[in-house]
Amino acid sequence: GGGGDDLDAVSMDANAVKALVKLIKSAKRGILIIAGGASDGAAAALAAADVASTLGWAVVADAASGIRTGADGATGTTGTTHSSNGQNGWSPATTGCPHVLNAFDVSLCSGEMREFFAPDVIVQLNNRVTSKRTQTALEAAALDFGARWAVVTPTEARADPGHCVSLHVTCDIAVVAGALRNALDGNSSESANHNNYQRRYRDTQNFKSCESFRDVLVAADADASRTALSVLQSLEQEEGITEMGAALLVANALPPSMGLFLGNSMPIRDVDALAGVRPGGQFLKGSRHTTTNVNFGPGAPVCANRGASGIDGVVSAAAGFAAGTQLPVTLVIGDVSFQHDANGLLLLRERPGQPPVTIVVVNNGGGGIFSFVSDLQTKLDTTVFTKLFATPPDVSRRGLCDAHRVAHAHPSTPAALRTALQAAWSEGRHSVVEVTTSRAQNLRQHRVLQSAVAATVDASLRLMLGAKRGFRVGSGGDGDSQVGSGRDVQRGWSDGDARALESSQLDRVVRNALVSKFQLPMRKVPTVVGVGTGGTGSGDTETTDLFRTGYLLEITLQCGATGVGEASPLPGLSYESHEEAGAQLAVVSGLLRDVKISPNLPLLNGAFRDWLVCECGIRDVHNLLPSVRFAVESAVLQALSNSTQRNGQRNLASSLLLGAAKRDSSGNSSDTTGSSSSTSGSTSNSLASASPDDTDIFVESNALMGSNPDTDTPETAAREAVSLVEQGFRCIKIKVGRGVGTKGAAADADRVSAIRHAVGPAVTLRCDGNGLWNLNESLTFGLRAAEFDLQYIEEPVASVENDLAAFHCTTGVPVALDESVDRAMHLAWRRYHEHDEHDSASKESSAEPQSVAQALRELFEPTFGVVALVLKPSVLGGYENCALVASAAREKGIGSVVTSAFESGVGVAHCANLAAALDLASLNAAAKARETTRTGASSEDDQGDDSYSPGSGFRVTAHTGDSSDDDQTHGETQWNSTGTLQITPHGLGTGAWLVGDVTKRDFAPMVRRIDETGAPLGVGISLRGGSATDMASDFSWRPEVVFPVSAQGESPESWGVTSFIDVITDVGVYRFFVTDSGRNGDGNDDPTNPEKEKAVLFLHGFLGDGTDWTCVVAGLLESARCVVVDLPNHGGTVFVPGPGFQRKDGMTIEAMSNAIGKLGQELFVSKKISLGGKNGAKNKSSSFPSVTLVGYSLGARIALSYAVDGDKHGGWLKHGGGVVSIGGSPGISTSDFDRADRASRDDHLATALRESGVQAFTRAWYENGLFGGLVSHPRFQGCNSPEFVRAARSANVPDAAGKLAEVLSQASPGRQQVVTVEKLLASGVRVDFITGANDKKFVKVANAIADGMRKQSGTKTSKVTSQTVPNAGHAAHLEAPEGLVLPLLRCVLENAKRSE
């Protein structure tokens, strides 16, 4: 065998377990293989998952193991669960298998992965491994590098084809699982705490090394999974059903309590390659790594017939499998295998009590697997190959089904396939679902997917390991990636590697995140005709005052590296206002602190989305405003780039997308077969020919000429254009469409014609109509366009759907789309939010890569003549969304032009980085496409295609988009259009509209490039790499235009002043602990400012305190005075009963409402500050601030109670304020019995609280399904879990349990006075209900009250709204503060507006 000769195979006894434990403890690069072939199905899978949880190693699970199948959207079944002691525990009954590498088979197509994957200990459960790549990699580890290999099976059967196994344990896996728990714990089997072994074994250095090895594999697998899904979605959208997609759909969507039977050849291989791969960024219970864990539960056994008779009797075997398990079964089978056992259909009809069997038949015209045999088709005549190997069945599957009276469906699209499967599974009858594919097409699709995944994994490993203490993976460009090649580079993973990786992870933790506001003077009003509404607070402020307003996010990592991003939405162009962007950015900055940045984020393609969701805890990335996401991605990516530059890596643009995997022409590390090949990829383009280590990338920009029909003439336009050319510009973009009617269009044509004659043919001209013309006006201009030789015209017509085809077909002018892209993407995001939350499976399927392609599908209509999409990162939502749009366009042969939107130099610099990355991606895609369809063209011709020349840049003929039934023709049409892509200048010159920059030194200066002869190479931005120190100098802000708005820390003292305020009531004295920010920062400190002061008073929920609002407060500090109060018997607030009263008397809803009313009187009325009106006159209405009272749960009930009874306390809400209820109820109004029942139940809970104490009670309290979204949240795990935090807060509070029990009992909804619709209407107070969309009970309550108020008022009253926070549960302020702050801000601003 391998290097484990010191361990002899032993029989089933204690010595075997001891040997296995010793082997496990010695591992530094352990890998767990869960193979197939177990006879006890789900029980074996559960036991294997138990072993995986105990070891904590990376897991490779075979298709037949039962680990990687399960229903889409299942909850409570992944990774780790929420345990009682605040740690992450594991339970076989409730969780799945952690750390599964779902795409490991296809990841081994990467030469870098084959080089890196060198485990020193292999623990295998069961005998049979399906994947040849996996088996080969394991054998290489054992034979070439001495890995020790242990196999655990319940029988004496041996399966060791490579003679590598060094330890064989014959024992039931469940017994081994229990023994490992006890042995690794170091205690006896009586150990009561399952987590002891985690703290002991997992504290060892060997485990930490295994953990680091695991983390690299898991991260690379997540990247591979995203790429595989993206490629599959693209293939299916272009070509229909794929065999891989069908296999993945069956494996992932398999209903609970249904078995899966896998046919041989391609079905089992496709399932093994991709099963468990799902869209990332989903919240699944209890795991911070939802992209790598899988849905799993008992009752879903998997079986396969492996052996010499692979295609015989499969249908009958599946029927017997269903009968034996007494479960419905789905069989995935090929067409040849199906025909060989067509008589097996008789078993389905004639066997009494036969459970239903759903047969998915892949009809690819014969034995598709033989197409994968190297050179077989080329060496044999087509007729011979078809007759001897393909053997296509000449039979109708529908006819066979009709003859056996079995239902048959033949879907033709992926959506129809999902529908057909759901119907077959739900109807409970035997059925056959046939999908038709093509052998040749299937081979090409596998190659495309494998190549894409290999490139991604190459890049992923380079990003993670490339700068680590000189460690290098891969071939280094020598073209040889064979394992055991004897090269002198280090292979695999050492102790030093593990320590270095751990250190680099700590370096990448966000130490601080600060937000600043800027106001830059503008030279002139930007000519913006956009798609946005500007949101709340939009208008002419920025343009009339000639100031550009925005926000800067600066993050600092533990290593000292910094990054900065910009959020500056522009009215008329963006959908959000700058107030909204500033509020949400301030919230998100708090969520970023202490979060580890993944080194793989530059890959984009969903990596950033998954990081935001799974690490930062952003409930739904679609909640992030586009400008905010752009700022976050920019700051994080730049900080990451600066941190790696310290280790000699390259600038940001070089690492984005697959830049990290780019090789020079000497070699390529990846292939799709398991061995490496050398390819040539050099080009003559200056960017493409640059080495990956180059520190200077030049991004050329066009010049921008505005349009003023009142003053512009052809002569003045020509002079301006000549001046721009003299400055070095080689491309000019000209605004058109500002005139009136066809006369204005004709004047535009005269102007552009004069420009062309003045600058000559060497300068590229573009025009931008901004969608201002109707069809007649656009034709007036377009019919003269031949004399202009335009590269393209942006948005020539107002109605793209109705008029663009007519414009292009009539004029032949190439078209670029800008605002149409913005609208399409915004509509897709809006539809996502409006999606039925009950349909979780469909929700998951609307992942970004798919939704982007679908959203843009109509824009790719061939008759539109689209040659380019214009991408504005601040409008589309940052690097990742733009990259997804560009990727969808590249597949159609359509280029991308990145343009700034009048941002400061910070935003422009990031636009330039994105532009450079997209240029490189286009060139690589074009080169690959030409290589794929090469017909003998000379290398000189190819190099000419890559060269940029003015006036070209994009092909000028529209993409035909014609499909063909012939696979080869279809593929050539697609790749040939992509092969014409070239780079072209981007739109980065809007900084000319601004006076200076936000930094003392221009952040993104425009430079002129010339060649060695002095000839101009254009004007643009130079992206230079450098040290973090050099980059930090760019962050020296101009204090006259940049103003810090975020606090330095997260404690209450960082944003406000704490104090105690005594409130005397009839029942006693409340001493409230209050945190107050003071006057809001919107300029109202100026006594001459007549704008009304805005204030927000926050009330938390039961068991909480004021710190629960910290994140939300951060978003409102700039707009309003924020006051947070601890409720009675919570936090620092105490109550002293008066004579004749008990402490519990102060805990009723009405008593606390009374006290809050008097507290508000003290805060907002007694110490009011009168604001001066014009000419110093007193403004009486401004004597009272507009106060918004915000309450969550218990706090919401108190707030609603005060709203209907506020007159007793001065009625400070009625001077222009309102109430916001988050997850609150008005009390129980159904019946006295229901009220008494609820009060009784709360009394019993209060008794339990007194007897068990706070810690035990909170543990049980948060197990309530109402808080499922909170306890599964990534930010609230371990020592940050709700019960841990709540218990810690009360640890030093005397009689904390008794005090909280009084609140629970006395403030019961069964005891409070009901807040009726009539009372709310009579109060005159505006009420806004905001509820987490997943909190169905309280959504229903809120809608009922709002509808009742509207109905009784007889109008659609503006005094009530009901809205939801997407993908949030009951505690929306904790789960999704980034989503809550936006509706909350609108409520605050609306209340202030109504009070003026």
Q: Which residue has 């997850």 as its token pair?
A: 1223
Torsion of CA 302, 306, 312, 317, to 10 degrees: -30
Question: Mean pLDDT over residues 230-244, rounded?
Answer: 89
Cα–Cα distance between 414 and 944 in angstroms, integer?
40
Over the stretch 928-970, which tens digit does the pLDDT of each residue have?
A: 888 776 643 333 333 333 333 333 455 433 333 343 333 333 3
Stronger pLDDT, 1024 or 636, i.e. the higher one? 636
* Amino acid 367: pLDDT: 62
Say if CB 1075 and CB 1123 are below 8 A apart. Answer: yes
Say whether pLDDT at 73 is over 50: no
Say whether pLDDT at 1153 is over 70: yes
Cα–Cα distance between 272 and 63 in angstroms, integer?
4
The mean-pLDDT minimum among 57-71, 768-782, 930-944, 1291-1305 falls in: 930-944
CA distances from 55 to 172, 222, 1261 (A): 17, 20, 31
Q: Which of 1224, 1217, 1205, 1099 has the alpha carbon at shortest distance from 1154?
A: 1205
The mean-pLDDT minimum among 314-328, 930-944, 1351-1365 falls in: 930-944
Q: What band does 344 get if pLDDT is binned at 50, 70 and 90? A: confident
Q: What band does 1027 get if pLDDT is binned at 50, 70 and 90? A: very low
DSSP 1044: E
Say if CB 1271 and CB 82 are below 8 A apart. Answer: yes
Question: Mean pLDDT over residues 1367-1384, rounded?
Answer: 95
CA distances from 826 to 95, 823, 842 (A): 37, 5, 19
The mean-pLDDT minimum among 317-331, 373-387, 614-628 falls in: 373-387
Say whether pLDDT at 103 is over 60: yes
Over the stretch 575-614, which tens digit does the pLDDT of each residue have?
A: 899 999 999 999 999 999 999 999 999 999 999 999 999 9
150, β-bridge pairs: 123, 167
Over the stretch 480-514, which tens digit does the pLDDT of each residue have?
A: 333 333 333 345 556 666 677 777 778 889 999 99
Over the stretch 875-901, which tens digit does the pLDDT of each residue have?
A: 999 999 999 999 999 988 999 999 999
DSSP 520: E
* Amino acid 371: pLDDT: 61
Say whether pLDDT at 473 is over 70: no
Q: What band does 1080 get if pLDDT is binned at 50, 70 and 90? A: low
Question: Mean pLDDT over residues 516-541, rounded?
Answer: 64
Q: What band does 55 get if pLDDT is binned at 50, 70 and 90? A: very high
Phi-psi domain of 654 (left: phi exceeds 0; alpha: psi -120 through 50; beta: other): alpha
* Amino acid 396: pLDDT: 80
Burial 663-682 (b: 16+ CB within 10 A, else e): beeebbbbbbebebebbebe
* Amino acid 949: pLDDT: 36
Say if CB 1195 and CB 1099 are below 8 A apart. Answer: yes
Say whether pLDDT at 1071 is over 90: yes
Over the stretch 1203-1238, which tens digit does the pLDDT of each residue have?
A: 988 666 557 887 678 999 999 999 998 888 999 999
Share of the chain above pLDDT 70, in %: 76
* Amino acid 273: pLDDT: 92
Cα–Cα distance between 100 and 1230 in angstroms, integer?
50
Cα–Cα distance between 1148 and 1242 in angstroms, integer?
13
CA distances from 1382 to 578, 585, 675, 1102, 1140 (A): 12, 11, 53, 24, 46
Over the stretch 793-810, which tens digit does the pLDDT of each residue have?
A: 999 999 999 999 999 999
Q: Which of 658, 651, 683 has the alpha carbon at shortest distance from 921?
A: 658
* Amino acid 186: pLDDT: 56
Q: What band does 528 get if pLDDT is binned at 50, 70 and 90? A: low
Strands of the sheet with 167-170, listed across from one edge: 58-61, 30-34, 121-125, 148-153, 167-170
Say whether pLDDT at 564 is over 80: yes
Q: What band does 573 get if pLDDT is binned at 50, 70 and 90? A: confident
CA distances from 1384 to 9, 1118, 1199, 1326 (A): 67, 13, 15, 13
Torsion of CA 532, 537, 543, 544, to 10 degrees: 140
Q: Which of 1033, 871, 994, 878 has the alpha carbon at shortest distance from 567?
A: 878
- The average confidence (pLDDT) of the chain is 79
* Amino acid 370: pLDDT: 59
Cα–Cα distance between 969 and 1014 in angstroms, integer?
46
Stronger pLDDT, 1032 or 335, i.e. the higher one? 335
